[in-house]
Amino acid sequence: MPRYHQLKEILRERIRSGEWKPGDLIPSERELSETYRISRMTARQAITDLVNEGVFYREQGRGTFVSRNKITQQLIKLTGFTEDISARGQHPSTQVLSAEMLPADEFTAERLRITPGELIFCLQRLRLADGEPLAIEFSHLSFKGCERLLQENLEQQSLYGVLESKFGLPLMEAEQELEAGLAGAEEAALLKIAPGASVLFTRRTTYTDRNQPIEYAKSVYCGAKYIFYTHLKREQLFSS
């Protein structure tokens, strides 16, 4: 194991153990290099890595400090409903309202980069958390062999889990838009809320690791029961 990697582990362990707390000053690069009998540049490489990971931050002329939080490490997570609700400590369940092959309309076709009229797998599900309706999800999927999804039990299995394990299609990234709105009569009935109650509309295009869109999904979340978290980062690239 390379020395700078060993030093990284030592430094991380000092934070884990509570020896260093957020805001604390850590030993200088020269001091670390003497303590561990390595060159300053090697110690610096370990620290630089941890700065890039958000563990430390440097101040020229003052020293290197433990970051106050780990926000840069908490990347935005692309999860399906199942993982999402589980992470919130609730029990997710699903009712499949419909599952069939239908021709793609023009708007959906554009999102999935296919030609309108092509047959795609359309899935409408009611999503529940601890038995209470939370959202209606309307997914449209298009890929070679997607009709085999008709044979899957999607009430007991995560759609994303099936795509990855049985179809070899890991979903890696998504673009999503959110909009506040009011529940219509049909949505209200399914979600067991009053018509005109607040809801959160989401529209999401999900991609594999090859930038190929696989799914376009529209959802209606019950406004009172769902908070959406996100993490924003300043654009750095193309700084000119």
State how far the Cα of 236 lies from the Cα of 222, in Å rounded to an integer.
35
C-beta of residue 125 within 8 angstroms of C-beta of residue 154: yes
224's tokens:
């009172």
C-beta of residue 199 within 8 angstroms of C-beta of residue 187: yes
Q: Smallest gap, in angstroms, from Cβ of residue 69 to a copy of itself?
A: 6
State how far the Cα of 128 lies from the Cα of 193, in Å rounded to an integer.
13
- The enclosing H or E element of 119 equals strand 119-129
For a copy of itself, which is the closer residue by CB, 82 or 99? 82
Binding flag, residue 209, a copy of itself (CB under 8 A): yes
Binding flag, residue 11, DNA (CB under 7 A): no
- Binding-residue pattern over the window 60 to 99 for DNA, x denoting contact by CB under 7 A: xxxxx-----------------------------------
Piece of 58-66, 128-136, 150-158, 207-215 that binds DNA (CB under 7 A): 58-66
Q: Smallest gap, in angstroms, from Cβ of residue 134 to DNA?
A: 39
Q: Which does 54 bind (CB under 5 to 8 A by kind): a copy of itself, DNA, none?
A: a copy of itself
Q: At what angle do helices 40-52 and 3-16 cross, to 10 degrees?
A: 50
Binding flag, residue 60, a copy of itself (CB under 8 A): no
Q: Which does 21 bind (CB under 5 to 8 A by kind): a copy of itself, DNA, none?
A: none
Binding flag, residue 58, DNA (CB under 7 A): yes
Binding flag, residue 3, DNA (CB under 7 A): yes
Binding flag, residue 231, a copy of itself (CB under 8 A): yes
C-beta of residue 54 within 8 angstroms of C-beta of residue 71: yes
- The residues with which 65 forms a beta bridge, in sequence order, are 25, 57
- For 94, other C-beta atoms within 10 Å of its C-beta total 18
User: Hey, is 177 helix, strand or coil?
Assistant: strand
Q: Which does 39 bind (CB under 5 to 8 A by kind): a copy of itself, DNA, none?
A: DNA
CA nearest 128: which of 84, 162, 171?
A: 84
Binding flag, residue 170, DNA (CB under 7 A): no
206's tokens:
């999900």
Residues that bind DNA (CB under 7 A): 2-5, 26, 28-31, 37-42, 44-45, 58-64
Residues that bind a copy of itself (CB under 8 A): 9, 12, 16, 52-55, 57, 59, 67-73, 75-78, 113, 170-182, 196-200, 204, 207, 209-212, 221, 223-224, 226-238, 240
